[in-house]
Amino acid sequence: MADFQYLTPCTEQSLTCNFDWAALSALGGWAAAIVTLVAVWVALDSAKHQRRSAERAVQAEREKSEELQKREWDRVDAAHKRRTMQLAHAFSKELAYARRSLVPRLIDWDPATFYPGTSAVILESFVADHPFPDLVLLRSCADQLQGFEDEDVFALLSVLTAWQFFNQGPGRTVDDIRALPATECSRAASSRVKFGLELLDMIEDTINGMKRYYGGHASITGMASEALPVPAAERLSELRGRLTS
C-alpha cells in the first residue's frame, strides 16, 4: 500500500512541496479586489475633482453673467435718469410757456370787466375752440414717464388733462355772449377764470416739482420759469383775491 503523500503548501515546487493553488488563487482574488478598489477610489477622486472644477467653472460663469447683467442694469438706469432729467427740464420750459400765455387771458377775462360790450378781440379769445397752444411735448411723452416719481407723474398727467379741457371753447359764439345779460356774461367768465387760476397753480407746482430732476446740472443755465412782470402779477393777485374771497 502506497504511503499517503502530504502536500505542504509552499512557494517553491519540490518533491515534498506543492503549490497551494487555492491559496494563490485567493491571493490573486484579493489582489484583484484591491486593484479594483484602488481604481474605484481613483475614479471617485477624479470625479470629485472634476465636479469641483465644473462647480467652480459654473460659479465663475454665473458671477460673470451677474456682473454683466448688473452693468447692463446700471447702464439702463443711468440712461433712464439722463432721459428723465432732460424731459423734466423740457416739461418745465413748455409749462412755463403755457403759463405765459395763460396769465394774460385770465386777466382779459376778469369778470369785473367782462360784459357784452367787451372788446371783440377778448370775446373772440373767450369763445375760441383752441385759445392756447397745445402741450405737444408733454402729450407726446406721456407714456415715457417711468423715471419720474409717482407724485410727479400724477402732477404732469393732471396738468395735461386739465389743460386740454380748459383749452376748449365754451360752446358759444361772440354773438351769444353779446346777447347775454351783463350779470350772466360776468358769471360765465367767473366760472372759467376760477378754473384757470386753479390750473395756473397746478402748473406752478409742477414746474417747481420738476426742478428736483435737473437742478444743479452744469449744462442748465437760467430758470425754467421767470417771474411775472409787476403789473401782471399785481392784477393777477387782485383777480385771485376777488374770486376766492
Q: What SS3 string covers 6-66?
A: CCEEECCCECCEEECHHHHHHHHHHHHHHHHHHHHHHHHHHHHHHHHHHHHHHHHHHHHHH
pLDDT at 45 over 50: yes
Under the banding of pLDDT at 50, 70 and 90, the label for residue 131 is very high
Query: Which residues have CB under 8 Å from 49's CB, separation 6+?
Result: none
Q: Averaged over 169-181, what is the pLDDT?
A: 91
pLDDT digits (tens, 9 = 90+) for 77-123: 677 888 999 999 999 999 999 999 999 999 999 999 998 888 999 99
Residue 56 has pLDDT above 90, yes or no: no
Distance of alpha carbon 140 from alpha carbon 110, whole angstroms: 32
Q: Residue 102 and residue 99: Cα distance in Å, rounded?
A: 5
